[in-house]
Amino acid sequence: MTWTVLVTALTGSVAGYLFHRFRLPGGALVGSMVAVGILHVSVMGLEPIARDVRVAAQIMVGIMIGASIKREPLKLLRRYVPQIIGVLAVILGAAAVSGLLLVEVAGLDLVTGLLATVPGGAADVTAAAL
């Protein structure tokens, strides 16, 4: 690991902690992402995070999401299956249309346009995009 990876990790950690500490929405994720993004745009020669580290981070997100699932709410869902399917169809359809509009209007490539409008939490979508 080189000094540039350490600088990147330190910058993201400090900014993520501060954003979280000041109770900004999505603070840990947004703070680290903004700070590291600014760092990498403004300083030449910084290395991207290694693929193995990204995979480890995705595994951790999967563990956190899996650990947050509780049994009781899942039992209640059985009563609402038709409504859930309907709402999902509307949300996914709206996201797809929005993504395609972005592709046409903003000239984005298809994957970027669709990922920009995918429903979900920021941490989950970001992890999936990596």
pTM (two decimals): 0.56
CA distances from 42 to 4, 35, 37 (A): 13, 11, 9
Q: Does 119 lie in the same domain as 75?
A: yes
Q: Is residue 78 part of a domain?
A: yes
Q: Is residue 61 part of a domain?
A: no
Strands (DSSP E) contained in the chain are none
Q: Does 128 lie in the same domain as 89?
A: yes
Tally of structural domains, the chain:
2
Q: Does 75 lie in the same domain as 44?
A: no
If one counts every other C-beta atom within 10 angstroms of the C-beta of residue 38, the result is 12
Q: Crossing angle for the helix pair 122-129 and 27-42, nearest 10 degrees? A: 40
- Phi first, then psi, for residue 108 (nearest 5°) are -75, 160
Tell me the pLDDT tens digit for each residue of 57-80.
Answer: 889 988 998 999 998 888 888 899
**For residues 87, 97, 111 and 9, what is the CA-based torsion angle, rounded to 10 degrees?**
-60
Is the confidence at residue 100, as pLDDT, over 90?
yes
**For residues 74, 76, 81 and 83, what is the CA-based torsion angle, rounded to 10 degrees?**
-120
Percentage of the chain exceeding pLDDT 70: 92
Q: Is residue 64 part of a domain?
A: no
Q: Is residue 58 part of a domain?
A: no
Structural domain including 10 reads 1-49
Distance CA 42, CA 38 (A): 6
Q: Is residue 59 part of a domain?
A: no
Please answer whether residues 99 and 114 qualify as being in contact, where contact means their C-beta atoms are separated by less than 8 angstroms: yes
Is the confidence at residue 21, as pLDDT, over 90?
yes
